[in-house]
Amino acid sequence: MFTRIKEFFDGTTLSLFVTMVLVFLYMYLLNGGKYVDSYNIRSMAYQLPIIGFLAVGMMFTMLTGGINLAIVSNANLNGLIICLTLSWLTNSDSLVRNNMKNATVAQVVIAIAVGVAISVAIGVFHGFMVAWLRIPALLVTLGTMTFIIGVNEAATRGYTISGFPAYITSIGTENLWGIPIPMILFVLSCIVAWLLLYRTRFGFSLYMMGANETAAKFSGVNIMKISILQYVVSSLFASLTSLVMIGQLNSIKANYYESYVLVAVLACFLGGVDPNGGFGRLASVIVATFILQFISSGLNLQRLDPYMVTAMWGGIVIILIFGRALIAYFRSQLKRKTLEGGLL
């Protein structure tokens, strides 16, 4: 048990945990009781899952040194597909003047299934291009991102389309025994992600591929299969994001949350995921998303410019880079001293 706890609080996670507590305390001091009242906690619980889904989805691709720039546009496309299917099923005149509101449960389920199917297809395409053609993931996903945003813009004509049925909006806004449904989804998906990463061959192969792809290949890892699976999982997280997103905003647009692609990468990096692959723990990434959320909620309560949040997010990463470098420096000094001491 003790080793487990020690393992959980390894260097990065511990320093992140401390950072999280410090950030929380700072924001509490800044905002006072307003920060910890039920209203703010609830609003954080509704907002956090979106960053969380994107970060965990991004993490699955970054573990092998890849990246999924298309994750947010994928989520938007998923919403668009749900919207298209629903308005087709309910015989709407057009996308803008739809009568999705009257959709039945069965229709909603079909629409979500179609959306998920499209996301899976995108994931398979990404994995295939990366594994078979050996194109850097950055380029593949940059291409699909541009393409998908184009499709979204062409389909919505730049309009915001609203009027989703209550079954979908309740996913984003309702709660179960006082716990917001997005949060429940987030916790469940984190458990699934944890099981996938640390209790299956797939997860082990991911870390192995990230550390050394050639070695992984020669130890019998099916590179193609793992690549496709990892991008499919990433796309499924985009689907989840999309459900919560359209649930909360009750509308879709070509590019909601566009800037969150880079925030998700940032969260992963903050969580100690090595962009070259092979390293990174789920717990750290989740703690990192909490840090980002604490900052943004705290500054929102201060009625500060939302761009201040952006600046703070960038700043905290730079500070962390400095901090980690300092720790590494002192560690190496300490090691040298003990070594010298041992020699003498």
Partner 1 sequence: MRRYFFNRHEWFLVGVLVVLSAVITCINPSFLSFENITDLLKSFTVLGIFSLGMFMVIVSGGFDISFTAIAQAAQYAVVALLMFRWASIGDIWVAIFLAVLFGLVLGCVNGAIIHFFKIPPIMVTIATQNLYYGIMYVITKGDLIHDIPLYYREFSYARVIEFHRVDGAPYGLTLVTAIWIVLGIAAALFLKYTRLGRSIFALGGNRISAERIGFNICLTTIFVYGAMGAIAGLAAIVDVSIAGSVIPNSIVGKELQIIAAVILGGTAITGGKGSIQGTFLGVFLFAVLSNSLTLLKIPSYYYKVFTGLVILLAVAGNALQIKRQEGKKVRVQVDEIRAGGA
Among 145, 190, 226, 229, binds partner 1 (CB under 8 A): 145
C-alpha to C-alpha distance for 216 and 210, rounded to whole angstroms: 9
Residue 292 sits in the site that holds partner 1 (CB under 8 A):
no
User: How many residues form the binding site for partner 1 (CB under 8 A)?
Assistant: 47
CA dihedral 44, 317, 27, 38 (to 10 degrees): 10
Give me the 256-275 binding string for partner 1, x by CB under 8 A, dash otherwise: --x---x--xx--x-----x
Stretch touching partner 1 by CB under 8 A, among 26-34, 110-118, 170-178, 305-313? 305-313
The CA-to-CA distance between both ends of the chain, in Å, stands at 38
Could you say whether residue 83 binds partner 1 (CB under 8 A)?
A: no
CB nearer partner 1, residue 32 or residue 275: 275
SS3 of residue 180 by DSSP: strand
Establish if 276 lies at the interface with partner 1 (CB under 8 A): yes
Ramachandran area for residue 309 (φ above 0: left; ψ -120 to 50: alpha; else beta): alpha
Give the residue among 25, 20, 47 at the shortest CA–CA distance from 35: 25
Task: Find the shortest distance in angstroms from Cβ 328 to partner 1.
Answer: 9
Phi and psi at residue 275, in whole multiples of 5°?
-65, -15
Q: Which is nearer to partner 1, 113 or 139 (CB)?
A: 139
By CB under 8 A, is residue 139 in contact with partner 1? yes
Do residues 109 and 167 lie in contact, with contact meaning Cβ atoms separated by under 8 Å? no
Q: Which stretch binds partner 1 (CB under 8 A): 10-18, 48-56, 216-224, 320-328?
A: 320-328
Nearer Cβ to partner 1 (129/240) = 129
Residue type, 236: L
Per DSSP, the residues of 196-215 read HHHHSHHHHHHHHHHH-HHH
Among 75, 80, 149, 209, binds partner 1 (CB under 8 A): 149
User: Quick one: 120 or 142, whose CB is closer to partner 1?
Assistant: 142
- Of the pair 110, 304, the CB lying nearest partner 1 is at 304
Q: Which residues contact 134 (CB under 8 A, 6 or more apart)?
A: none
Task: Tell me whether residue 173 or residue 255 sits nearer to partner 1 (CB atom).
Answer: 255
